[in-house]
Chain A
Amino acid sequence: MSVQVTIREEACRGCQMCVDVCPTKVFTYDDAAAKARVSGVEDCIACLSCVYLCPSMAINEAGYTAVKNFYRDLDFSRRMERFL
């Protein structure tokens, strides 16, 4: 599995939340530009914590396996079916 992580530079506010949350140190902080950079994408486990946490939604991940939401309520889905 090869995960691709990209940061939209113009959206990044340099809050460093992605740097703090990542368990495998995929991000580093560029002091000069005051922005986060992707430095170790090989270690990314695709936990998606950075994607969910980023306040400006600047991080995008691709090439990972998304866990299927098998917990969805079937009865609720059946009820919703008539509106779709």
Chain B
Amino acid sequence: MNRTNRRRSRSRRRTPPAPAVQEKEYKGHQGNTRGHHVKEMEATRTTLQETMTFMTALAYGMEQMADRGANGMAFVAGKKLGAKLAETSQKTDDITQALDTVRKLLSANHCNWGFETFKRKAQPTLITKGADGAEKLELVFRDCMIRQSLFRYGHVQKGSMCYMMYGFFSGALEAILGRRAVLEVTHAGQNACLKCLTVHSKES
């Protein structure tokens, strides 16, 4: 074997041929038949992840360009969505019933956006009424997709994405209650957020 051939054979030995890429059948951790469900769930999660990436990038870009105007834009978008989803819902005057309707609406639209009402120990009732007739109640958001998106990309809370949520609840509750509703972020935490819902009287 001459020198050139020896070199060729060495290089062949050093770089073994790449194995054919074979897609492994996903069978779950215990190799059970629920594997396809896991695969399906992962595909959904990946889709959700891509949407989150897109949404957060869009919101961040919008905040850079439009500054505070971004909040207004996100609010209007959220409000339109909320009003559209709730337009055929049953109308009521009761706030807790309206919140239940919103919860059902979110669930019906495959939206995992859980929230719960919050009453402080010193507070006598869940809903407090102000001097101007406005009714107030506090809500706690635990598993919030907006917070998750923001943390994933290291963005600050209480930005335009939170305003979209504010708009969504405002639009949906206005459609159900027929009164002006405002959802303010009292506190944005790492594991939960506290928000104050104010429903104004029909006269105001």
Contact = CB atoms under 8 A, between A and B. Distances in A.
Interface of A: 23-24, 40, 42-43, 45-49, 51-52, 64-71, 73-74
A42 B122 CA distance: 10
A69 B143 CA distance: 9
A67 B190 CA distance: 9
Contacts of B148: 67, 69-71
Contacts of B110: none
20 contacts: A23-B187, A23-B194, A43-B121, A45-B118, A45-B140, A46-B192, A47-B187, A47-B191, A48-B190, A49-B187, A67-B142, A67-B191, A67-B192, A68-B143, A70-B45, A70-B148, A71-B52, A71-B149, A73-B49, A74-B49
B34 interface: no
In this complex, the member of A23, A66, A69 whose beta carbon has the largest number of chain B beta carbons within 10 angstroms is A23
Counting from the closest, the 8 A-B pairs by CB-CB distance are: A47-B189, A23-B187, A71-B152, A48-B191, A47-B192, A49-B189, A48-B190, A42-B121
Interface of B: 42, 45-46, 48-49, 52, 118, 120-121, 140, 142-144, 147-149, 151-152, 186-187, 189-194
Nearest to B43: A74
A74 B187 CA distance: 30
Given A67-B143, A67-B147, 16 more contacts: A24-B120, A43-B120, A45-B118, A45-B194, A46-B192, A47-B190, A48-B191, A49-B187, A49-B189, A64-B191, A65-B142, A66-B191, A68-B143, A70-B45, A71-B52, A71-B148
Nearest to B189: A47
Contacts of A66: 191
Contacts of B147: 67
Contacts of B142: 65, 67
B186 A23 contact: yes
A23 B46 CA distance: 34
Nearest to A75: B46
Contacts of A23: 186-187, 189, 194
A49 to B, nearest CB: 4
Contacts of B121: 40, 42-43
A47 B120 contact: no
Nearest to A41: B121
Contacts of B151: 71
Nearest to A66: B191
